Structure 1
C-alpha cells in the first residue's frame, strides 16, 4: 500500500513538473513575441518618412469626388474616354511655379499679380474610364527629337503654349528663336533635342483683317475671307510633325464676310446695309473649308483639332463688369455651356465628325482634342481681376476688368498636356 502510494506520488510530481515546464516554455514564447513586436514598432523604418507639402487653402472635402474602384485592365483596353471625368485633389501641386518658369505672360501670371488664394493649383484631371499619367517631360522630349510642333489659333493657344513650355523647361530651357512684330507668332527650340515648338497666331484659321488693340477693343469690323486659308499656318503645314489647331470665340465678333473677293454678308453689323448671315453661317463654312484642306492634304503627321473653351463670366461679360469669383472646381451637372458656346460646340462636333471619316479614308491622322467639358468644370482657374498687377493695392474696392476666359499659369490648362501626351503616345 505504501509502495503504491509512493509510486503515485512520484508520477504526480513528474506530471506537475512537466506541466510547469510547458507553462514556462509558453510564457517565454509569449514574452519573446511581445518583445519582437515592441522592437519592430520602435525601430526606424528602412524608407525615411517624407513630410507632405503644406497646401495653402486645400480643397474642401465636399468638392472631392467619390473615390472610385480601380479600373479593370480589360475595361481600359476597350474604352478610354479621356474627356469624361472629374477634377480630383492633387496634393503634389503643379510641376512648375511662376518663379521657376520665366515664360508666363503678365496677364496669366496670377500669383505674381497677387491672387490671394491658391487651392486652384492642387487639382488634376482624372478620366473615369482609365488612368491618366502625369505629363512626362523627359519622355516627351526624347520622343520629339528632330520634330516640329505648332499650336495654331488665338490667345487661348498662346496661353496653352506657355503651359507646355513651362513644363518642358523643367528639363531644358528653350531658346527663343523667332517672333513676329507683335509677339503673337513665336518659335522656340530645345537645342539638346532639336525640337521646335511654334505658336502661330491665326484666330479665324481663314484669312482675316483685324482692327483691334491688345485689350480686344475694335475700331472696325473684322473682314473675313471664308474661302481663303490663313497663309501663316498653311505655308508651314507640310513641315510640321504635330499640330494643335483651334478657333472659336472670334467668330462672335462684329465681322464682314467675303467670298471670291466680294462681300456676301456680315455678323453684328446693324449700321451697314448688308445681309445679316450670322456667326453660325461663318463658323460652319470656315471649319468645313479648314477640314477639307486637312483631310485631302496627305499629311503624314498628327493633327489635333482642339475644341473651343468656355468662359465663366458672371453678372456680365468682359466689357460689362463680368466677374469669376469661384475658388474651386464644380462637378458635372452643376454648370452648363452658355448658349453661344453650345452653338459653337455643336458646329465643331458636326464638322469634325464629317472630316474624321474622310481623314480615315485618306490616311490622315486627325484627332479630336475635346477640352471643352474639362474646362467647363474649372470656373476657378481664370485670372479674374489678377490679369493686372496687384489690382487692389491702392483701393480694395477698385473696379477692375476681369479675365474669365484665359487661364492662370500654373493652372487647369496644364492638365491639357497630360491628355495630349496620352493621345500622342498611346493613340
Structure 2
C-alpha cells in the first residue's frame, strides 16, 4: 500500500510539472505574439527650431547621373514583397544597448556636419550618448556597411525629402559613407537647404530636398524666422520642388511633421477652407491634424499611383524631448542616457499625428502594391523616443556657457547630435534594403 501510494504521488507530481511547463510555454508564446504584433502609438513635438525660407528648384538628378530610374528595376536588388516588415522581423521594437565600439565616424573625421548639430565641437561635456546601439528584440541588426552599401548603389540615386530633420539625417548618411568615398557637392540652393552630393568612385548621388510640408506652401519668414503673415498651404497641390524630380530617383525617403503645428491658412482649389490658429482672421479653425491628414493622403496617393520602379520609404515623424517647457519658454533636454521601454511615452499631439501617419500609410500601401510601387514604412518613432540624451540642447551653439555658466540658452531638443542616435536610422534602412 505504501509503495502504491508513493507511485500515485509520483504520478501526480509528474502531471503537475507537465501542466506547469505547458502553462509556461503558452504564456511565453502569448507574450511573444504581443511584442510581434502590437501596434504602438507613441510621442509628441513642438515647432521646428529651424529658420525657414523657400528654396529654389533643383536641377534634375539626371543631369548628374547617366542612368535614369526608368532603366532600373528595383526587383533586382530589393524584394517587392510589401508584407509589413514587422511580420518577418520587427526592426522597430527593441532596446538601446551599450556599445563600447562607439560611432562609425567622429566630428573630426567628417567635415559635413552642420555647426548646430556638431555637439562635441560646440563643447558638450559628456560623451556617453555615443556608446549605444539599437537592438531589435527578435532579430539581429548589423551595423551599416558603407562599402557594401556603395557597391549596391553604383549608378543609383537617393533623395531625402522633408524638413530640417531630413537634412540632419542626410548628414549622418554622408558621414558614414565618407569613410569609404569622399562625396563631392554638385548642387545647392541659395540657402543651402536643398543640396546634392556625388560619390565619384561609385557614380552614386545623394540629394536632400527642402520641402517641409511636401505640399505647396508660401512661407513668409525672413532669415531670422520672423513671420510677416500666416503660412499659406495648398493641401491639394504637391510641392513641385520634388514632384519634378520624383521619377529620376531610385530610392526616396519622405517625411514631414513639425511644420504643420505652425499658424497657417488652408487652401483647396485656390479657395480658403479655414486655418490653424488664426484668431485675428474670420476663418474656421480646422486644426493642424486636418491639414496633416489631407497632405499626407495627397502625397501617398501620388506615390501609390506613380508606377515608380524604385524603393520608397515613408518615414514616421520624430519626437522631441523638451522637458520643463517648450523651445521658446525654457524647455530643456538634460538627460545623459536612453530611456527604457515604459519609462516614457509619446505626448498626446505626437500620438495624434502618428495615428494619422499609420492610418494613411496602411491605406496607401495596398494601392501601391496593386500598382507595382514598392512602398515601405520606416517607423523610427519609438526608437527615437527612447533617446532623450541625443539632442544638442544648449550645444546647438558654440560653447554656450563660456562667458556665463548660468546663461539662459535656447535648447534644441528636436534635432540630433552628429554622431548620435540618428546614425542607427541608417542601420535600419540598410537592413530593409538588403533583406527587406
Task: Please report the TM-score for the alignment, with normalisation by the length of structure 1.
Answer: 0.81
Deviation at 1:223, TM superposition (A): 0.7
**Equivalent residue for 1:64?**
none
**Equivalent residue for 1:406?**
415
Distance 1:219 1:401 in 2: 23
**Equivalent residue for 1:56?**
none
Distance 1:214 1:303 in 2: 32
Q: 2:327 aligns with which of 318, 329, 336?
A: 318
Distance 2:403 2:97 in 1: 37
**Equivalent residue for 2:216?**
207
1:184 equivalent to 2:160? Answer no
Deviation at 1:212, TM superposition (A): 2.5
1:273 equivalent to 2:246? Answer no
With a CA cutoff of 8 Å and minimum separation of 6, indicate the structure with the bigger relative contact order: 2
1:137-160 Cα deviation digits (max 9, x unpaired): 000000000001000000000000
1:188-225 Cα deviation digits (max 9, x unpaired): 00001000000000000000011224564433211100
Distance 2:322 2:199 in 1: 37
1:289 equivalent to 2:298? Answer yes
1:289-342 Cα deviation digits (max 9, x unpaired): 111100100000000000000000011111111100100000011101011111
Change (3 A) 1:403 1:77: closer
**Equivalent residue for 2:433?**
424
**Equivalent residue for 2:122?**
113
1:138 equivalent to 2:153? Answer no
Instruction: Number of aligned residue pairs: give it.
Output: 352
Change (3 A) 1:239 1:397: same
Q: Give the SS at the match of 2:274.
A: strand
Change (3 A) 1:78 1:223: closer
1:242 equivalent to 2:251? Answer yes
**Equivalent residue for 1:60?**
none
Distance 1:383 1:355 in 2: 35
Change (3 A) 1:215 1:134: farther
**Equivalent residue for 2:138?**
129
Out of 89-98 and 256-265, give the one that drifted further: 256-265
**Equivalent residue for 1:13?**
none
Distance 1:254 1:238 in 2: 32
Q: Give the SS at the match of 1:346.
A: helix
Distance 1:402 1:305 in 2: 28
Change (3 A) 1:205 1:131: same
1:240-278 Cα deviation digits (max 9, x unpaired): 000000000111100100111121110011111111111
Distance 1:414 1:285 in 2: 31
Task: Please report the TM-score for the alignment, with normalisation by the length of structure 2.
Answer: 0.80
1:155 equivalent to 2:155? Answer no
**Equivalent residue for 1:365?**
374
Unaligned runs of 5+ residues in structure 2 are: 1-84
The two structures, once aligned, show a CA RMSD in angstroms of: 1.2
Deviation at 1:280, TM superposition (A): 1.0
Distance 1:114 1:361 in 2: 52
Query: In the TM superposition, what are the counterparts of 1:10-409 in structure 2 within 5 Å?
Result: 79-213=88-222, 216-409=225-418
Change (3 A) 1:277 1:178: same
Deviation at 1:79, TM superposition (A): 3.2
Does the 8 A contact of 1:79 with 1:129 survive in 2? no
Distance 2:202 2:382 in 1: 34
Q: Give the SS at the match of 1:289.
A: helix
Deviation at 1:84, TM superposition (A): 0.2
Distance 1:326 1:308 in 2: 21
Does the 8 A contact of 1:381 with 1:412 survive in 2? yes
Distance 2:422 2:87 in 1: 27
Unaligned runs of 5+ residues in structure 1 are: 1-75
Deviation at 1:362, TM superposition (A): 1.1
Deviation beyond 4 Å, 4+ runs, structure 1: 213-217
Change (3 A) 1:138 1:211: same
